[in-house]
Amino acid sequence: MSIRVGIVGISGFGGGEALRLVAGHPSFELVHAAGEGSAGSRLEDRFPGVSARLAGLVIERWDPATLPALDVLFASLPTGASAEALARVPKAVKIVDIGGDHRYAEGWAYGLADVWPNQIEGRTRIANPGCFPAATLTALAPLLADGLIEPGNIVIDAKTGISGAGRGGGESAFGFAESNENLVPYGLLRHTHMPEMARTIERLSGGSAAGLVFTPHLVPMTRGILATIYCRGRATTAQCLEAARRFYAGRAFVRVTDRPPQTKWATGSNLAFVSYAADPERELVIAMGVVDNLGKGAAGQAVQNANLICGLPETAGLDGAPVWP
Ligand SMILES: NC(=O)C1=CN([C@@H]2O[C@H](COP(=O)(O)OP(=O)(O)OC[C@H]3O[C@@H](n4cnc5c(N)ncnc54)[C@H](OP(=O)(O)O)[C@@H]3O)[C@@H](O)[C@H]2O)C=CC1
Ligand SMILES: CC(=O)N[C@@H](CCC(=O)OP(=O)(O)O)C(=O)O
pLDDT tens column, 237-265? 999 999 999 999 999 999 999 999 999 99
Say whether pLDDT at 171 is over 70.
Answer: no
* pLDDT score, position 135: 98
CA of 171 to the centre of ligand 1 (A): 14
For residues 304 and 124, give the distance between their C-alpha atoms in angstroms, rounded to a whole number: 14
Residues marked active site are found at 131
Best of 8, 10, 13, 267 for a ligand 1 pocket test (most atoms within 8 Å of beta carbon): 13
Cα angle: 176, vertex 182, 183; to 5 degrees: 125
* pLDDT score, position 218: 96
* pLDDT score, position 175: 85
Instruction: Tell me the pLDDT of the chain averaged across its residues.
Output: 97
Say whether pLDDT at 172 is over 80.
Answer: no
CB of 179 sitting under 6 A from ligand 2: no
CATH of 131-293, one of 1.10.486.10, 3.90.1150.10, 3.40.1180.10, 3.30.360.10: 3.30.360.10
Mean per-residue pLDDT, 99-113 = 97
Q: 314 vs 31, 72, 193, 293, CA distance in Å?
A: 22, 15, 26, 19
Superfamily covering domain 3-129+297-310 = NAD(P)-binding Rossmann-like Domain (3.40.50.720)
Domain ranges of the chain: 3-129+297-310, 131-293
Q: 291 vs 89, 296, 301, CA distance in Å?
A: 30, 6, 10
CA of 299 to the centre of ligand 2 (A): 13
CB of 99 sitting under 6 A from ligand 1: yes
DSSP string, 153-168: -EEEEEEE-GGGG-SS
Residue 285: half-sphere exposure toward Cβ, Cα within 13 Å? 26
* pLDDT score, position 157: 98
CB of 160 sitting under 6 A from ligand 2: yes
- pTM value is 0.98
* pLDDT score, position 174: 77
Mean per-residue pLDDT, 208-218 = 97
**pLDDT digit string (tens) for 113-139?**
999 999 999 999 999 999 999 999 999
